[in-house]
Structure 1
């Protein structure tokens, strides 16, 4: 993956100047890559494919999607995501235009490769077919992303002309999903299984990634039989052998990248290709710049106790005045709270003081102390730990890979599908939720044994939230469950730091219109160019 990134970076620097066009469906690369003189070597073809890898997704969207949910709250500025969650977005919003443009730019790159790679002389046929399959996966993933956000979108499988781009109509979502699924089923056997790539190519798209994306196309439509069937095949090792990494906290550390749980990730390399969103999420005292987004009390409250009970269940042992004791071990690997023991890359331990009035306790000026809305410190009373890269230099230009797909999610999808089909039992539990909790660090029988009660849907949904928090997936879960209408309507909360530490912080109200906000607006800039692009309801 690292080798691939270096090539991709150098290629991007060469080509950035020509990436412009009036219509986002006809974005460059243009003549440079359609000219037969370019396609003279496998290395040049690989450079175009690596560019497509870089366009498949990025760190900005990874964290921005989480900020569109009840997991995180933005305390500073008037960002695109804050405008969306406040119910004030219109069709001119930058996020709507940017995501549309980025997806179609990546699709364009895939089409350029697919239509020109056969020009490369003396290319290894097996390598060529694999590269085509990788490009088709990236194209399918981009169309899937588009239809999830915008519903009906223009669908085409070739490099369309400027005239076509300016007149094309939106295809129904069902057709887009059918295309995506057909592509994934067609390419799966053309891709290597996990472990079949050489070391220099580790991190590329595999059969497992294709099947997991296929499972997600059904998960997001609540098509449970298909979800159960596909995920069971992955669990059975048909597409490579995956397993849970032994340490939940270690799963997100740079020394453990590309471990046996990772199915697909975004590759980064320190000082070459980096991301820095965590600069505004970690405590200021340990290297953060400001706090722009922070975990909500609602997320904190969903972490169960070590005995397996939700905090408000009888017998949980939860103490509202000492709320962080005996909680789900994943809580401390994800969220920083008052009194947290922060360990940096050198092994130095710092106590993080957040509660108002804790400056004296800190023994110095306290940059992390909650001081109200709109300040440099946290707006919620919490900071983020998950995805902190201890190897990152000052400024948090991290080289840590961001995981897009991992095996724990496969187990959670399978558990949810079996439950929705009325087929959840102790055997399924012991194959899915139990090993996830064992890996997390639970030891109490109450947390590990099959509960066999009527709250299984709630248990599984809470498990997904705790296991996958800050991984960019919550938005798609609350959309498909329909709970977004509730959890994104009303006042989110922070820690019990208001009114002299006697009340929970009340944050700015969020609004979700179910008649409009399940979909993004079709960008107005594109509708100004192409009158055939209709608009989604309510915009």
Structure 2
């Protein structure tokens, strides 16, 4: 079965690999000559999808590592993730931060260019109006996806909704978060109305974004806006849109396109991709030239673990230990702990007793030629996440839902994990902890803490309890946003102001 590949098409579709804000994804000459057939538009859309390739790694480096799930302080060397984990204020040139800005804007620019070409040439080239609207909807969903990621990490960012020149880009300042959220919402509403359900796609198009993925992202947007402002210029606006989120989630549930799987491990099985738990994937295929496989399974796993099985070094990664606090939050019979966490291993005479996340590693699938080529998709939205997010909305007062739904959902999740003692009267705190155990390694924890308004108290208490060596800096609320990369500040001095705290 053919996959929708999230691959970079290089200079075939990009006029250069420069990441300047004003860089047009397709040069004027290429734009004039390239989009001549339906297949050209299909391949052009693939280039927009390809910008999402680094999304999973970004979640692991900027959300999972930032949260209380990992205690990733120095192990004797200088590691880029340490400044993220330890709340250093001088991370405005950190490569993970820079990549989050640049990679998302590459996606935005590709989407803008594609939409412009579709608007000017699409009607004469893609004569099937339904297909043309679907193509537009896919590109607009992806643009919304990239902007949602930007706003969650940086707050105010430049809103660029069309192809612009270098000179013009350097005059566009950061837009208010409310304006950015409205822009994201409008793109998603169009996508919802014009994307098919997943079962309506032909097999050759399986893996493309569907209407329920757009509904899921829209619901998450409403929830994120509903979180407290926390006195920073982030995505939380205390907007009380919990009921609007539930409406989107209920539509997905009613579709009967998705369901929870019987076992936790089967969700992430390499032989069970696109299972009924999956609402939206970032898709990869290994063994290609150029390499277009996944990198995320390797990100949180130390090289010595692979070497203990006889594999060569994967790139020099050392351990990012799971926090003691998280390890202790699992009950004795919880299968999610043993599946997601490697408690120890021996590499010859050296024994490593610090636990780490190995959730996405199937040791029989380790790529032997490149650490960049794992044959596994990344699940962005899954059905269990939807159910627990709906439960969160109910606990926050969403209209038309019963509190008994919360207990039923949480107990179903716990039962799949092997826990037989039911909970009664589940609280927000209990729900948050259940999400922490369920989604370990999936990059949701940091955003859960922000959305719930518990980030400051939780992180401060965690640092006090876990950082006995005093290696982490003090947490301040401004750190729920990342700094604008210094490279962006330098392009147009005075155009952007730095986020507070950096």
Residue 199 (structure 1) shift: 1.4
The 3 A distance-change label for structure 1 pair 459 and 421 is: same
Counterpart CA distance in 2 for 1:505 and 1:286 is 32
Equivalent position to 1:466, from 433, 437, 444: 437
Residue 69 (structure 1) shift: 1.3
Residue 149 (structure 1) shift: 1.2
Partner of 1:69: 67
Residue 229 (structure 1) shift: 2.5
Residue by residue over 1:409-433, the C-alpha shift from the partner in whole angstroms, topping out at 9 and shown as x without a partner, is 0000011111121865334422x22
Q: Which has the larger radius of gyration?
A: 1
Residue 29 (structure 1) shift: 3.1
Q: With structure 1 as the length reference, what TM-score do the two structures score?
A: 0.79
Residue 528 (structure 1) shift: 2.1
Counterpart CA distance in 2 for 1:383 and 1:32 is 49
Counterpart CA distance in 2 for 1:15 and 1:140 is 21
SS, match of residue 3 in structure 1: coil
Partner of 1:393: 367
Counterpart CA distance in 2 for 1:270 and 1:369 is 30
Counterpart CA distance in 2 for 1:159 and 1:467 is 41
SS, match of residue 379 in structure 2: strand
Partner of 1:348: none
The 3 A distance-change label for structure 1 pair 187 and 365 is: closer
Partner of 2:309: 286
Counterpart CA distance in 2 for 1:505 and 1:187 is 45
Partner of 2:43: 47
Residue 486 (structure 1) shift: 3.6
Counterpart CA distance in 1 for 2:116 and 2:327 is 49
Residue 17 (structure 1) shift: 6.9
5 Å matches for 1:159-170?
159-170=163-174
Q: Is the 8 A contact 1:488 1:511 kept in 2?
A: no
The 3 A distance-change label for structure 1 pair 48 and 78 is: farther
SS, match of residue 416 in structure 2: helix
Residue 492 (structure 1) shift: 5.6
Q: Is the 8 A contact 1:166 1:529 kept in 2?
A: yes
Counterpart CA distance in 2 for 1:515 and 1:425 is 31
Partner of 1:116: 117
> Does residue 1:509 correspond to 2:468, yes or no?
no
Partner of 1:524: 486
Q: Is the 8 A contact 1:266 1:402 kept in 2?
A: yes
Q: Is the 8 A contact 2:342 2:358 kept in 1?
A: yes
Q: With structure 2 as the length reference, what TM-score do the two structures score?
A: 0.85
Q: Is the 8 A contact 1:87 1:512 kept in 2?
A: yes
5 Å matches for 1:404-415?
404-415=380-391
Residue by residue over 1:145-196, the C-alpha shift from the partner in whole angstroms, topping out at 9 and shown as x without a partner, is 1111111111132112222201111110011001111221122020011211
Counterpart CA distance in 2 for 1:507 and 1:72 is 15
Equivalent position to 1:335, from 331, 337, 341: 341
The 3 A distance-change label for structure 1 pair 462 and 10 is: closer
Counterpart CA distance in 2 for 1:525 and 1:225 is 40
> Does residue 1:269 correspond to 2:285, yes or no?
yes
Partner of 2:496: 533
> Does residue 1:207 correspond to 2:211, yes or no?
yes
Counterpart CA distance in 1 for 2:441 and 2:220 is 18
Residue by residue over 1:37-56, the C-alpha shift from the partner in whole angstroms, topping out at 9 and shown as x without a partner, is 21111111111211111113
Counterpart CA distance in 1 for 2:153 and 2:23 is 20
Counterpart CA distance in 1 for 2:135 and 2:100 is 25
Q: Can you give the 5+ residue segments of structure 2 that lack an aligned partner in the other structure?
A: 228-239
Residue 468 (structure 1) shift: 0.8
SS, match of residue 500 in structure 2: coil
Residue by residue over 1:2-27, the C-alpha shift from the partner in whole angstroms, topping out at 9 and shown as x without a partner, is 5321xx64733745672225x32435
Counterpart CA distance in 2 for 1:214 and 1:96 is 25
Residue 399 (structure 1) shift: 1.0
Partner of 2:94: 93
Counterpart CA distance in 2 for 1:245 and 1:15 is 39
Residue by residue over 1:110-147, the C-alpha shift from the partner in whole angstroms, topping out at 9 and shown as x without a partner, is 01110112425442322221111000001011111111
What is the RMSD of the two structures over their aligned residues, measured on CA atoms? 2.7
Q: Is the 8 A contact 1:168 1:533 kept in 2?
A: no
The aligned length equals 463
Single out whichever of 84-93 and 49-58 deviates more from structure 2. Answer: 84-93
Counterpart CA distance in 2 for 1:470 and 1:507 is 25
Residue 333 (structure 1) shift: 1.1
Partner of 1:441: 418
The 3 A distance-change label for structure 1 pair 34 and 265 is: same
Partner of 2:348: 365
Residue by residue over 1:495-528, the C-alpha shift from the partner in whole angstroms, topping out at 9 and shown as x without a partner, is xxxxxxxxx9956633354342121112222222
Residue 233 (structure 1) shift: 2.3
5 Å matches for 1:220-235?
220-221=224-225, 222=227, 223=240, 224-235=242-253
Q: Is the 8 A contact 1:491 1:509 kept in 2?
A: no
Equivalent position to 1:148, from 145, 152, 157: 152
Q: Is the 8 A contact 2:286 2:375 kept in 1?
A: yes
Partner of 1:319: none
Residue 301 (structure 1) shift: 1.5
